[in-house]
Amino acid sequence: MTALLRAELIKLRTTRTFLALTGVAVGTSLLICTLVSLLSEPTEESVLTDVFTADTSGLFIVILAIVGITGEWRHRTITSSLLAAPNRLRFLVAKTLAFAAAGLLLSLLISIAIAVVGMIILSSRDLPTPELDELVGQIIRNAEVAALLGAFGLALGTLVRNQPVAIVGVLLLSLAIEPTVIALAPEVGRFAPFSALTAAIQQIPASDIGGSDDFRLLSPGLALLALLAWIGAAFTAGAVLLKRRDLN
Amino acid sequence: MSAVTDVAIEFNRLSKSFGKVQAVHDLSFSVQFGRVTGFLGPNGAGKSTTLRTLLGLIHPNAGTATFGGVRYEQLPHPSGHVGAVLEEASFHPGRSGRNHLRILAAAGSHPGSRVNAVLEQVDLAGAADRRVKGYSMGMRQRLAIAAALLGDPDVLILDEPSNGLDPPGIRWMRDLLRSEAARGRAVLVSSHLLSEVSQSVDDVVVISHGVLRGSGTLASVLGGADGPVTRVRAGELDRLAELLRDQDHSVEPDGSGGLLVRGAAPEVVGQVAADHQVALAELVAVARSLEDVFFELTEGEA
């Protein structure tokens, strides 16, 4: 498994897509953090989630993971991958772990960068700043979500082989369908994987994801279990499909 | 070399269908260590399906395809035992040739030093750090072959390996096949370039519509069902014919004053003549080209 994981990490590092999307994720996160730090007046209670959850690694790692697995089909590298690792389940596990690790590292990189930038700007404006332990806690929660979304994106990409369809589908789901469900059926919306569950794990207020006054997020622990269930279901379905599929 | 028996690959009553299309039907043949086996058939004959089934990429409906009795996915170190180049060699266009090999070396637990070794072997070291999208088709084919050689495997499976290669590249490929077989490795190569195959292979397997049409050594297949055919002329033609018939060879007039001897190579006919002091005027093998045999066996399919 270590060998396969190493191979998957080399795959990640050796394409421009990964470097480009990582750069965009870092740039976007820093831009949001800078604008919020400069233009808003966060209170002592809200500063942590207002400024230091600007980490956009979750969205980008989902896209990277989808590109990573669907690209195997698109470029037909799935053949050489499975010749090197004919146990398809082990191949999928290694790829999932690789994107979870990539999400974790990307989020840590971004969270630390926005922590530095946010603290400098807030301090220069004499606005409240979070305690170090609070900041570290938020960085860890951000990284936790990014790791889970990396695994989730990989599982979804295994289910939907068509790269554009998978990416557009996830964007539609996270940016349009989930907010609609949260607004219209909040009891169902609490289990929305990209918005409600990640917000609950990151301990972001429900109002930040468009929830109404009576919308309540799950507790962080329950949200984590629910997101793991989503990942498990998608991974299982993807693994069954991959195992049965003939590679013509 | 880990060969325990002479049989490197064995197909046993292999069948595979896609919906109503029967791609491979009840296919059985084997490939020996130390020999190059040509796997021939028209487009759509089922060659690629057969090879992909052997490599665990396609699930058969019936029968088995194994390496010494073991399925590819059950081999303890698959890419160290088998190297494969499939027809549509596939690479990420944005990745360099070296990185492509580094990934496969890592996944197969092969030492990193093998990457440089195989790049040298396929004469691609100079272009190794360029992205694959800038490679010519021949360079991509060489990269695919480098990937197959990474694990220094006992068995090589090559699906149309000469595609995209220029004449020097084709010669290089032919030499590679021969040298790998000379080292005791089993080589199974599918190709539609019959002239190429006839210069490279020891054994031939011909399929059409997924069904085995013929197999055997190249000489026996070229000789047809009766084996090799020899044309001979001699002063004492009737006596020579009698002598050959006494040795159970089929002899008939060739229509131009000579004899056609079926089932005997020129060396055999020459030996009979020499043993009985019959002076020969002509002794030649009647060659059928592989193309003739191919069309005969596949009933003219192109």
Which residue reads 């279901």 in tokens?
A233
The whole-chain average pLDDT of chain A stands at 90
Nearest CA of chain A to the CA of B94: how many Å? 6
- pLDDT, residue A87, reads 92
Q: Which residues of B touch A76 (CB under 8 A)?
A: 88, 90
Q: Does A81 touch chain B (CB under 8 A)?
A: yes
Question: What pLDDT, on the 0 to 100 scale, is given for residue B89?
Answer: 66
Of A77, A85, A248, the CB nearest to B92: A77
Show residues of chain B in contact with A82, CB under 8 Å: 56-57
Which residues in chain B have their CB less than 8 angstroms from residue A1's CB?
none
pLDDT at residue B225, as a whole number: 61
The pLDDT of residue B257 is 85
Nearest C-alpha in A relative to B111? A3
Q: How confident is the model at residue A17, as a pLDDT?
A: 85
pLDDT digits (tens, 9 = 90+) for A179-221: 899 888 888 989 999 988 999 998 888 777 777 777 888 999 9
Give me the residue from A10, A79, A247 closest to B106, CB to CB. A10
Residue that wins the pLDDT comparison between B192 and B19:
B19
Better-predicted residue by pLDDT, B48 or A57: B48
Per-residue burial over A14-31, b if 16 or more Cβ lie within 10 Å, else e, is bbeebeebbeebbebbbe
How far apart, in whole angstroms, are the C-alpha atoms of residue A30 and residue A23? 11
Give the per-residue SS3 of B128-177. CCCEHHHCCHHHHHHHHHHHHHCCCCCEEEEECCCCCCCHHHHHHHHHHH
Chain A neighbors of B86, CB-CB under 8 A: 79
Give ipTM to 2 decimals: 0.83
* CB A183 within 8 Å of CB A206: no
pLDDT attached to residue A49: 80
Q: pLDDT tens for residues A89-141?
A: 999 999 999 999 999 999 999 999 998 998 898 888 888 888 888 889 989 99
Q: State what percent of residues in chain B have pLDDT above 70.
A: 92
Instruction: Tell whether A126 is within 8 A of chain B (Cβ).
Output: no
Task: Tell me the mean pLDDT in the region B168-190.
Answer: 90
Residue from A105, A116, A118 nearest A49 by CA = A118
Q: Is the pLDDT of residue B300 over 60?
A: no
Whole-number pLDDT of residue A207:
79
Which pLDDT belongs to residue A126?
84
Determine the distance in angstroms separating the CA of A40 from the nearest CA of chain B, rounded to an integer.
42
Contact A79 B91 (CB under 8 A): no
Share of chain A above pLDDT 70, in %: 100
Beta carbon pairs, A and B, within 8 Å: 80
Task: Enter the DSSP assignment of B125.
Answer: G
Of all residues in chain B, what percent carry a pLDDT higher than 90?
A: 46
Q: What is the pLDDT of residue B224?
A: 63
Closest approach of chain A CAs to the CA of B197, in angstroms? 24
Convert B164-178 to b/e letters by CB count within 10 Å (16 or more is b).
Answer: bbeeebbebbbebbb
Q: Do B107 and A77 touch (CB under 8 A)?
A: no
Cβ-Cβ contacts under 8 Å, B94 against chain A: 15-17
pLDDT, tens digit, 9 for 90 and up, residues B222-262: 766 666 788 899 988 899 999 999 888 889 888 888 898 88
Q: Which of A211, A208, A222, A207 is nearest to A186 (CA)?
A: A211
Nearest residue in chain B measured CA to CA from A71: B92
CA angle B161, B165, B167 (to 5 degrees): 120
How far apart (Å, rounded) are the C-alpha atoms in residues B103 and A10? 6
Distance from CA of A111 to the nearest CA of B (A): 29
What confidence category does residue B2 fall into, taking pLDDT thresholds of 50, 70 and 90? very low
- Closest-CA distance, A75 to chain B, in angstroms, reads 6
Place A40 in a pLDDT band, splitting at 50, 70 and 90. Answer: confident
What's the pLDDT at A70? 94
- Residue B102 confidence (pLDDT): 95
Tell me the per-residue pLDDT of A80-89, one tens digit each, with 9 for 90 and over. 899 998 999 9
B230 versus B195: the higher-pLDDT residue is B230
pLDDT at B4: 47
With an 8 Å Cβ cutoff, is A10 touching chain B? yes
